[in-house]
């Protein structure tokens, strides 16, 4: 089942360098380039603020982006010649785009897996 945030969506838009998506349960602040097609974003940092005020962070990649990076690293010699992909607060999703990624975040919060994947920002 694809999790849709449409029913809980409060607003979305640019706020300085952030593209923010506000829902009833959380705010997701993406560090996307303002010239990026938001439906095609495949590698982005995100800070999620929950209703309780706690902030969490992750880097979200698509499967295709992880594959692209591993092929690049095979040429450059990074990551043992592209033989592995690792990031401490990384989340790999199937589909690109801010809306798709926000739907995954909403689903992770709903099913209780969010705090296992995202890293809590110190001090809150």
- CB environment 29-57: b (16+ within 10 A), e (fewer): bbebeeeeebeebbbbebbbbbeeeebbe
* pTM for this predicted structure: 0.88
> Which pLDDT value is given to residue 9?
83
Burial class (CB in 10 A: 0-12, 13-18, 19+), 122: exposed
Do the domain assignments include residue 75? no
> Which pLDDT value is given to residue 111?
94
Do the domain assignments include residue 35? yes
Q: For the chain, what is the domain count?
A: 1
* Full residue range of the structural domain in which residue 112 is found: 6-59+96-120
Do the domain assignments include residue 43? yes
Do the domain assignments include residue 34? yes
Q: Quote the CA–CA distance of 19 and 28 in Å, as a whole number.
A: 8
Do the domain assignments include residue 10? yes
> Which pLDDT value is given to residue 49?
97
Do the domain assignments include residue 109? yes
> Which pLDDT value is given to residue 1?
40
Do the domain assignments include residue 80? no
> Which pLDDT value is given to residue 26?
96
> Which pLDDT value is given to residue 5?
63
Q: Which residues of the chain have pLDDT under 50?
A: 1-2
> Which pLDDT value is given to residue 7?
60
Beta bridge partners of 26: 50
Contact in structure between 56 and 89 (CB atoms under 8 Å):
no
Do the domain assignments include residue 83? no
Pull the structure tokens for residue 85: 């992909």
């Amino acid at each position: 089942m694809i999790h849709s945030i449409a029913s809980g969506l409060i607003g979305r838009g640019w706020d300085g360098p952030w593209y923010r998506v506000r829902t009833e349960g959380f705010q997701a602040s993406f560090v996307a380039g303002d010239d990026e097609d938001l439906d095609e974003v495949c590698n982005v940092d995100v800070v999620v603020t929950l209703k309780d005020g706690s902030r969490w962070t992750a880097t979200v990649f698509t499967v295709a982006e992880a594959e692209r990076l591993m092929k690049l690293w095979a040429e450059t010699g990074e990551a043992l010649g592209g033989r592995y992909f690792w990031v401490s607060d990384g989340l790999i999703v199937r589909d690109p785009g801010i809306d798709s990624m926000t739907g995954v975040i909403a689903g992770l919060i709903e099913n209780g897996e969010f705090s296992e994947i995202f890293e809590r920002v110190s001090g809150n």
